[in-house]
């Protein structure tokens, strides 16, 4: 299906949100699986259901709240998505540009993307946090496929520093101060919703992937197109298929994500404070 989106289509979403607030958000947060509780710490929150925003998408993942929260966190004005959108929900790649483009029109310049991911790198352990240095996406179309909207960015654009180096350094500095040992590696994108096969994981390791997941990359590509700065953080929730002699389960992913959420939230709050 071809999507004839234009600038006005996304501006209608942004204008609806701007009518609800009296400030310009500096930072956008997209919270992944079981990390949504950070949104509860946003001060003076303005909460908007996704379904109420014109031209926006709605989440179908049970653990995702499906709400936009705007307010203050660690002294910064933020807009936070508690629940994101995925290709596996039935959306086309071209539809997945919506959140980032709307944030761009709100005035956001920095995006923090978080997710729960499976460890491909055998030196990782569940509960580790990985700074995303780069990503690999070999499946499907680009989210910015189709007619280019010049107000967001050029037809062809560079992906060299998609995950902003200064923010990766900042995350390391903050984690060192907090006594956390962060990893840094490559996130490999798969479409899902099935977990990857052991043979796929072996191939991903050969290709240079350190962690694997079903989100984040479409958002990072859209942000790069808009010229926005990006910090990506993966919570390692499980060892990927075939690393251990046991199946990967949703329950395992959720359990590790929930038990590690406190450290993740402490780290995020401190990073935001220093941005």
Confidence (pLDDT) at 165: 98
> Percent of the chain scored above 90 by pLDDT?
79
Q: Band the pLDDT of 63: cuts 50, 70, 90.
A: low
Q: Would you say residue 64 has pLDDT above 60?
A: no
pLDDT tens digits, one per residue of 23-58:
999 999 999 876 778 888 999 999 999 999 999 998
**In this structure, what token pair is assigned to residue 192?**
């899902």
Q: Are 44 and 90 in contact (CB under 8 A)?
A: no
Confidence (pLDDT) at 252: 67
Confidence (pLDDT) at 247: 73
Confidence (pLDDT) at 208: 98
**In this structure, what token pair is assigned to residue 222?**
């859209």
Helices 250-274 and 165-178: crossing angle, nearest 10°? 100
- CA–CA separation, 185 vs 181, rounded Å? 13
pLDDT tens digits, one per residue of 213-261:
999 999 999 999 999 999 999 999 888 877 777 777 777 667 767 777 8
**In this structure, what token pair is assigned to residue 162?**
């998609």
pLDDT tens digits, one per residue of 142-164:
999 999 999 999 999 999 999 99
- CA–CA separation, 173 vs 180, rounded Å? 10
Query: Higher model confidence: residue 131 or residue 34?
Result: 131
**Half-sphere exposure in the Cβ direction for 263 (13 Å, CA):** 19
Of the candidates 141, 139, 250, the residue with the CA atom closest to the CA atom of residue 204: 139
Query: Higher model confidence: residue 65 or residue 76?
Result: 76
Q: Residue 229 in 3-state DSSP? A: strand
Q: Would you say residue 199 has pLDDT above 70?
A: yes
Interval 258-275 mean pLDDT: 90
Could you list the beta-strand ranges (E) of the chain.
27-31, 43-49, 67-73, 76-82, 110-119, 129-137, 183-189, 211-213, 229-239
Interval 115-140 mean pLDDT: 95
Confidence (pLDDT) at 66: 84
Confidence (pLDDT) at 269: 95
> Concatenated DSSP letters for 109-149?
-EEEEEEEEEE-STT--TT-EEEEEEEEE-SS--TT-SS--
Helices 98-106 and 217-226: crossing angle, nearest 10°? 40
**In this structure, what token pair is assigned to residue 7?**
């600038």
Confidence (pLDDT) at 2: 74
């Amino acid at each position: 299906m071809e999507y004839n989106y234009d600038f006005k289509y996304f501006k209608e979403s942004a204008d609806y949100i701007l009518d609800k607030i009296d400030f310009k958000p500096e930072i956008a947060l997209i919270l992944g699986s079981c990390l949504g509780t950070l949104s509860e710490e946003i001060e003076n929150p303005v909460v908007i259901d996704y379904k109420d925003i014109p031209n926006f998408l709605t989440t179908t993942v049970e653990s995702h709240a499906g709400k936009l929260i705007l307010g203050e966190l660690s002294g910064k004005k933020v807009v936070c998505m508690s629940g994101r959108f995925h290709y596996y929900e039935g959306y086309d790649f071209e539809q997945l540009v919506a959140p980032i483009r709307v944030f761009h029109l709100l005035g956001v310049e920095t995006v923090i993307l978080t997710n729960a991911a499976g460890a491909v790198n055998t030196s990782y352990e569940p509960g580790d946090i990985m700074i995303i240095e780069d990503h690999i996406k070999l499946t499907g179309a680009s989210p910015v496929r189709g007619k280019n909207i010049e107000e967001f960015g050029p037809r062809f654009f560079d992906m060299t520093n998609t995950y902003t180096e200064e923010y990766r350094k900042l995350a390391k500095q903050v984690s060192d101060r907090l006594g956390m040992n962060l990893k840094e590696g490559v996130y490999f994108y798969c479409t899902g919703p099935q977990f990857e096969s052991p043979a796929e994981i072996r191939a991903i390791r050969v290709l240079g992937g350190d962690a694997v997941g079903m989100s984040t990359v479409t958002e990072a590509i859209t942000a790069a197109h808009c010229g926005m700065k990006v910090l990506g953080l993966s919570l390692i929730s499980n060892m990927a298929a075939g690393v251990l002699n046991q199946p990967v389960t949703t329950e395992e992913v959720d359990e590790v994500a929930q038990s590690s959420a406190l450290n993740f939230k402490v780290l995020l709050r401190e990073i935001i404070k220093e941005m």
